[in-house]
Structure formats: C-alpha cells, structure tokens
Amino acid sequence: MNKHDSTFLKKFSMVIGFLIALTLVLILFARHLNTLLPQEMTAQAKAQTAARIAPIGAVYSGSTGAAAAAAAAAAAAKAATSQAAYGGTLDGEVIYNSLCTGCHTSGAGGAPMLNAAGIGARLAKSGLETLHKHAIEGFTGATGTMPARGGNPALTDEQVIASVDWMVAQSK
Ligand code: HEC
C-alpha cells in the first residue's frame, strides 16, 4: 500500500463514519417526531368520547320536540286567521257590509242582489247547502264569477255561512 492509497482510505473511512453518525441522528430524530403525532384512539378513548357526545348526538323528542313545535305553529296560524277576518265575527251583516256588499248590493259583475230575483232565486234553484258551498269554494256560473270566500281567504267557513244566511234572510 503506497502513501497515496492510505491517505485515501483514511479520508474514505472518515466519510463513511460521518454518514453512519448522520444516519443514527436521523433515525433518532424520526423517532422523536413520531411521538409528536396524534396517536390512534384506543378503544377506551373511543368509548369515552361517545359517552361525552351522547346527549348531543341522540334523537331528541318529547315536549320540546319538533312535533310539538309544528303543532304550536299550526295552532298559532289558525288563531291568526280566525283573528284576521273582521275580528272573527259571526255576524253575517257585519261581514256582508265589510266585503260582500262590494258586488252583491249593486249586482256588479253579475252578482245576484239581495232580493227575490237575485239570491232568492238562487236559493230556490240550488238550495242553501249549495249556496254555502259556492260561497266558500267559489263558483263560476252563467252571470259571472263568485270568488272563494268573497276574495278574503282569512274568512272561516262559519263566517261565510253566516254571511250567506244573512243574505238569504234579506232576499225574501
Ligand atoms: C268580486 C265580487 C263578489 C264578491 C266580493 C262576493 N261575491 Fe258572491 N257572487 C259574485 C258573483 C259574480 C256571483 C254570481 C256567479 C254566477 O252565478 O255566475 C256570486 C254569487 C254568490 C252566491 C250564489 C251562489 C250560487 O250558487 O248561485 C252567494 C251565496 C254568494 N255569492 C255569497 C257571497 C258572500 C257571502 C260574499 C262575501 C263573503 C260574496 N258573495 C262576495 C261576486 C261576488
């Protein structure tokens, strides 16, 4: 072995030694980094989490449930409609004078007037039940179009019937 070769060997083994040391350092660093990662949940931890979120995740019904809320909303809507139309009055004259008179007093648009030839003739021809039904549901006949509930959807069936009965009573 000449001098040149031994110098090379010395330097070469120093480089190899350095690389081995570097490898060890990297392995240790990688192990350290691995401990910093969130660990996979154990079965016990999973059970604890499930127990913790159970009240939120469970189906909730009963007195404060959606069914009760929907029923309350429906009741409120019903109360609002029954309040809306003329204070909920069942006085046929009041309702007639507030709404139906617009057509039926003058006969506008072919509306039968409150006399024997008008509403009186309708009663003789169709009967009271049909007049109630046509006033509630609306009706298109030979002379024109009667809008459902006189055009006020807030009127209840009872209110429309009361108005028709009052009209009939005036038409003899
Ligand atoms: C926009 C005008 C108008 C208003 C408002 C109106 N009506 Fe009429 N109504 C008519 C017309 C038009 C007819 C006739 C339809 C036909 O026979 O062609 C009619 C017909 C009727 C009839 C007879 C139905 C039949 O079968 O012959 C009744 C009962 C009646 N209206 C009740 C009412 C009551 C009660 C109100 C108020 C709540 C009212 N109307 C409001 C236009 C109106």
For the chain, the structural domain boundaries read 89-170
pLDDT of 61 reads 61
Is-contact 95 162, C-beta < 8 A? yes
In this prediction, residues 103-111 reach a mean pLDDT of: 90
pLDDT of 76 reads 74
More confident: 134 or 1: 134
138 C-beta closer than 6 A to ligand 1: no
In this prediction, residues 98-108 reach a mean pLDDT of: 91
Protein residue whose Cα sits closest to atom 1 of ligand 1: 103
In this prediction, residues 105-115 reach a mean pLDDT of: 91
In this prediction, residues 112-140 reach a mean pLDDT of: 94
Q: Which of 11-15, 33-37, 62-66, 99-103 has the lowest mean pLDDT?
A: 62-66
pLDDT tens-place string over residues 68-100: 767 777 777 766 655 668 888 899 999 999 999
pLDDT of 70 reads 76
Q: Does the pLDDT at position 57 exceed 70?
A: no
CB atoms within 10 A of CB 163: 27
Q: Can you state the angle between helices 128-137 and 119-126, rounded to 10 degrees?
A: 110
Three-state secondary structure string covering the chain? CCHHHHHHHHHHHHHHHHHHHHHHHHHHHHHHHHHHCCCCCCHHHHHHHHHHHHHHHCCCCCCCCHHHHHHHHHHHHHHHHHHHCHHHCCCHHHHHHHHHHHHHCCCHHHCCCCCCCCHHHHHHHHCHHHHHHHHHHCEECCCCEECHHHHCCCCCHHHHHHHHHHHHHHCC
Interval between CA 90 and ligand 1 midpoint (Å): 18
More confident: 19 or 35: 19
Label residue 53 exposed, middle or buried (CB < 10 Å: 0-12, 13-18, 19+).
Answer: exposed
103 C-beta closer than 6 A to ligand 1: yes
104 C-beta closer than 6 A to ligand 1: yes
Q: Does the pLDDT at position 14 exceed 90?
A: yes
pLDDT of 49 reads 85
Ranges 44-48, 51-55, 134-138, most confident: 134-138
Q: Does the pLDDT at position 58 exceed 60?
A: no
- What fold does the segment set 89-170 form as a domain? Cytochrome Bc1 Complex; Chain D, domain 2 (1.10.760)
Protein residue whose Cα sits closest to atom 12 of ligand 1: 111
More confident: 64 or 125: 125
Interval between CA 160 and ligand 1 midpoint (Å): 11
